[in-house]
Amino acid sequence: MYNVREISPQIYWIGGNDRRLEQFENLFPLANGVSYNSWLILDEKTAIIDTVDDAITDQYLENIEHLMQGRELDYLIINHMEPDHCGNIENLIRRYPNVKVVGNKKSFQLFNQFYNMDITDNQMLAGEGDEINLGNHNLKFITAPMVHWPEVMMNYETTKGILFSADAFGTFGALAGNLFDDEVDYKNLYLDESRRYYANIVGKFGAQVQSVFRKISSFEINMICSLHGPIFRSDLNLILDLYDKWSKYEPEKEGVVIFYGSMYGNTANTADSLANKLGQRGVKDIRVYDVSKTHPSYIISDIWKYSHMVAAAPTYNMGLYYPMDNLLHEMISLGVKNRKVSIIGNHSWASAAHKIMTERFSSMKNMEIIGEELDIKSRLKDNEESKLDDLADAIAASVLGKTEE
Ligand code: FEO
């Protein structure tokens, strides 16, 4: 059965959910699936904005068939050529062979790389500031290169103030009937997953997000329709302010994310003891993760959220314990910066982990080291507690000092 909703007169959500997918991009765990949003405008002219992943093709085509009632599709607008949104371009062209497929040169280049269909006769180029008038509605194109692919565009519907924002402002997590931010407890149901989505997928491209902010700053935006997750129509500033902060690599909160690698529990013991001491010193927001257990995307998400981090790991094969090494490489790749860091190494006969972690953090921008070097030998003993107290004092002073400002 069709499953659609009118979100504004003549504009319909025609997307769907995938709750079977284990990992988004075969990389990021999905605890509660993901939605693929697509939009149909039934005006004097008809237009579809982006399609959906081929995992939900049947539902998608049924939705379109129900709403179109035999009408012709005039425009298929391709704002993003990643396959989770392009899985049905070919299907729609087969059904509507006269449709104008609207994209930029990069979009069509990517289409030709991913697919075999020749759509030369359907192509219509659109770029910065171009407009398509549908009758009552008018779509203005905004280019958003590298948010997070090079061809990305957004559309601003000028009569209603609706921003079709491609992946931006989207989230992991399937929709559950309620489509608008004011119909769900967004902060509890989606916000953490929205941050995880941003940090891991868009996080590297903060400067490009800021560039889009400059372009849309003069627009009156009443609704934001992302390709993943709920529509914002009530508290737009919640997500706009967070995106501004996230893309400037500014922490949301003072707090400490402790992540450790531990083969036999000794580094874990040090990390837990440090967390205990921070708690006793009045630090409220402390998160502790085992890098061998928790998927890096969750740790990265909290690194984006909080001001401080502590990395603790042993030496392994004269190098750094692999899961920690992997996590730090991801942080470097994503451009993590502007954080305060403490480093705890562990080794039994030759020290490498502390040095490598220090080098990794030094290669990130504006990372301030908090506390003295702590490189333990196999296990921190009771008679060495003062070293951990000193580190806890330094971190707590930094966190609480900032909080009290
Ligand atoms: Fe939802 Fe960049 O694809």
Q: Mind listing the pLDDT tens digit for each residue in 107-142?
A: 999 999 999 999 999 999 999 999 999 999 999 999
Token duo for residue 106? 């990069």
Find out whether the beta carbon of 53 lies less than 6 Å from any atom of ligand 1. Answer: no
Find out whether the beta carbon of 157 lies less than 6 Å from any atom of ligand 1. Answer: no
Q: Residue 326: how many CA atoms within 13 Å on its side-chain side?
A: 11
CA–centroid distance, residue 33 to ligand 1 (Å): 14
Find out whether the beta carbon of 80 lies less than 6 Å from any atom of ligand 1. Answer: yes
Atom of ligand 1 nearest to the CA of 167: 1
CA–centroid distance, residue 107 to ligand 1 (Å): 13
Write out residues in the chain with pLDDT < 50, as ranges: 404-405
Tell me phi and psi for residue 404, to 5 degrees: -80, -5
Find out whether the beta carbon of 85 lies less than 6 Å from any atom of ligand 1. Answer: yes
Atom of ligand 1 nearest to the CA of 228: 1
How many CB atoms are closer than 10 A to CB 97?
Answer: 11
Let me know: does 351 contact 316? Beta carbons within 8 Å.
no
CA–centroid distance, residue 84 to ligand 1 (Å): 6
Please report the pLDDT score of residue 131 as a whole number. Answer: 98
C-alpha separations of 188 from 81, 173, 192, 246, 264 in Å: 31, 12, 8, 19, 35
DSSP 286-346: EEEEETTTS-HHHHHHHHHHEEEEEEEEEEETTEE-HHHHHHHHHHHHHT--SEEEEEEEE
Atom of ligand 1 nearest to the CA of 148: 2
Kindly provide the b/e burial profile for residues 259-275, where b requires at least 16 CB atoms within 10 angstroms of the residue's own CB: bbbbeeebbbebbeebb
Token duo for residue 251? 């922490």
Please report the pLDDT score of residue 191 as a whole number. Answer: 98
Find out whether the beta carbon of 50 lies less than 6 Å from any atom of ligand 1. Answer: no
Please report the pLDDT score of residue 405 as a whole number. Answer: 45
Token duo for residue 38? 């697509």
Find out whether the beta carbon of 18 lies less than 6 Å from any atom of ligand 1. Answer: no
Find out whether the beta carbon of 227 lies less than 6 Å from any atom of ligand 1. Answer: yes
Amino acid letter, 189: L
Token duo for residue 6? 């009118």
Please report the pLDDT score of residue 361 as a whole number. Answer: 98
Question: Whole-prediction pTM value?
Answer: 0.97
CA–centroid distance, residue 192 to ligand 1 (Å): 18
Find out whether the beta carbon of 305 lies less than 6 Å from any atom of ligand 1. Answer: no
218-270 tens-digit pLDDT: 999 999 999 999 999 999 999 999 999 999 999 999 999 999 999 999 999 99
363-391 tens-digit pLDDT: 999 999 999 999 999 999 999 999 999 99
Residue nearest to atom 3 of ligand 1 (CA): 82
Tell me phi and psi for residue 141, to 5 degrees: -95, 135
Atom of ligand 1 nearest to the CA of 170: 1
CA–centroid distance, residue 94 to ligand 1 (Å): 23
Contacts of 197 (CB under 8 A, 6+ apart): 28, 170, 171, 172, 228
Please report the pLDDT score of residue 25 as a whole number. Answer: 98
Please report the pLDDT score of residue 403 as a whole number. Answer: 53
